[in-house]
Amino acid sequence: GAVVSQHPSWVICKSGTSVKIECRSLDFQATTMFWYRQFPKQSLMLMATSNEGSKATYEQGVEKDKFLINHASLTLSTLTVTSAHPEDSSFYICSANPGLGNNEQFFGPGTRLTVL
């Protein structure tokens, strides 16, 4: 099946710094990728839709200037958490769909962000 990777798998940073998380589709191209955030014991919450070559679409309540998304190629989307604060500590997960009649979303393994 299609594989989606994320890097890093975990990151610890100081408050006020920015952190970049990469999401890659390893064996397929994806014009659209999705970013989710998940707090402990809670469900996944969709943050934004990343569109290759155009601006991301953010869900209501998600600050676009706080969570910068860049989808520069058909296999890579990045999420940058700018000026991170402890409340941004969470599990960030991306997903992508290979298209071509495939109706399944493939998820990355997630990135654990801890802001001190």
Partner 1 sequence: LAKTTQPISMDSYEGQEVNITCSHNNIATNDYITWYQQFPSQGPRFIIQGYKTKVTNEVASLFIPADRKSSTLSLPRVSLSDTAVYYCLVGIYNTDKLIFGTGTRLQVFP
Q: How buried is residue 54: exposed, middle or buried, by Cβ count under 10 Å (0-12/13-18/19+)?
A: exposed
Among 13, 62, 80, 107, binds partner 1 (CB under 8 A): 107
Q: How many residues bind partner 1 (CB under 8 A)?
A: 27
Q: Is 109 in the site for partner 1 (CB under 8 A)?
A: yes
- Mapped onto helix, strand or coil, the DSSP state of residue 87 is helix
Nearer to partner 1, 70 or 107 (CB): 107
Rule CB under 8 A: say whether 62 interacts with partner 1.
no
91 makes contact with partner 1 (CB under 8 A): yes
Q: How far apart are CA 14 and CA 34, in angstroms?
A: 26
Helix (H) / strand (E) containing 71:
strand 67-73
- Does the footprint of partner 1 cover residue 103 (CB under 8 A)? yes
